[in-house]
Amino acid sequence: MDYDDFTEAPEDYFEPSKPDHYFLQAQKEIRELYEGDRESVYYIRQIQIKFEKKYYHWITNNAIIGLNKIGYLKDVRIPKERGTPARFFIHKANRYARRTINRMEKVIDEYSQDHITRSCGHRAEDLFCNALAMRGFLPKAKKVKEFNDKKWEKTGHDLDFVFSRDGVAYGCEIKNTLGYIDKEELEVKLEMCAYFGIKPLFIMRYSPKTYNNMIYENGGFALIFETQIYELSQEKLVKEIKDVLGLPVICSKAIPDGIIDRFETWHNRSNV
């Protein structure tokens, strides 16, 4: 499951009964963020991404929920006719947040539409397939449930692609989402690659180090590109997402060479 369609944290996120150093430090920095502007409004995904290079998304989530429980932050939800209402968090002293929340929710609703999320996925797949092919990593199969004369029947999953170069095959997943890949899905896809006898290649906007280490330990590579990719036709929406929500999004014509360089360098070194 992908949590980008939800602005509320999934049920398996929790507030630790014994807060650790990272939890407390995350709370401190979130307090500093709101004290810098008590009229500011954020929803969980925004703050998770703002601090994702320091803290795992679940740590930031727990820190926000903790600040809400002690009354430092207020949780505001605007009723909706359908779907789950977004959770907006404001400073306890903020009395005039409704106009900002309405503007933010309009943008969130727009980028969360199914046709938008699907187009983001397809756009990233197209661009990365082209970029990899230009470096000689050729697509051998798509939506892969069978490879090397083996058929995966343990679950209903498939691999997005299989690429090959220099006699080395890669089972590839491309995740162009603001949230992390689901851990269970990650584990299944790693198991699939091992079953097919191919190396894992996970191309993701962002991923926690614990997940990346799992990929490396299974002989694969985690290629992180940080900025969510949109179709060129979504330029107006991307501007609104940047201006209103400050999220890392872009309308891209091609994948920057430096991103593919990282994978190609690793490929050359690990297959000598």
Which two three-digit tokens encode residue 184?
Answer: 């269970």
Q: What is the total count of domains within the chain?
A: 2
Q: Is the pLDDT of residue 4 over 50?
A: no
For residues 157-168, give the mean pLDDT.
97
Which contiguous run of DSSP H or E holds residue 65? helix 57-69
**11/125 same-domain check:** no
| 60 and 10 inside one domain | yes
Q: What is the largest CA-CA distance in the chain?
A: 64
At residue 11, the pLDDT reads 36
- CATH assignment at residue 254: 3.40.1350.10
pLDDT confidence tier of residue 17, bands split at 50, 70 and 90: low
Q: What does the pLDDT look like over 45-67, one tens digit per residue?
A: 999 999 999 999 999 999 999 99
pLDDT band at 84 (very low <50, low <70, confident <90, very high): confident
Residue 10 has pLDDT above 80, yes or no: no
Q: Which residues have a Cβ under 8 Å from the Cβ of 235 and sit 6 or more positions away? A: 251
Q: Residue 35's pLDDT is what? A: 97
Domain residues for 33? Answer: 3-111
Amino acid 18: pLDDT: 59
Distance of CA 133 to the CA centre of its chain: 24
Find the mean pLDDT for residues 10-21: 55
Distances (CA, A) of 136 to 95, 156, 260, 264: 57, 30, 11, 10
Measured CA angle at 25 (ends 62, 224), to 5 deg:
70
Give the CA distances from residue 17 to residues 14, 89, 203, in Å, rounded to whole numbers and listed in that order. Answer: 9, 22, 34
- The predicted pLDDT at position 220 comes to 98
Q: Same structural domain for residues 59 and 175?
A: no
Q: Do 163 and 103 reside in the same domain of the chain?
A: no
- CA distance readout (Å), 85 to 79, 81, 94, 260: 6, 9, 20, 38
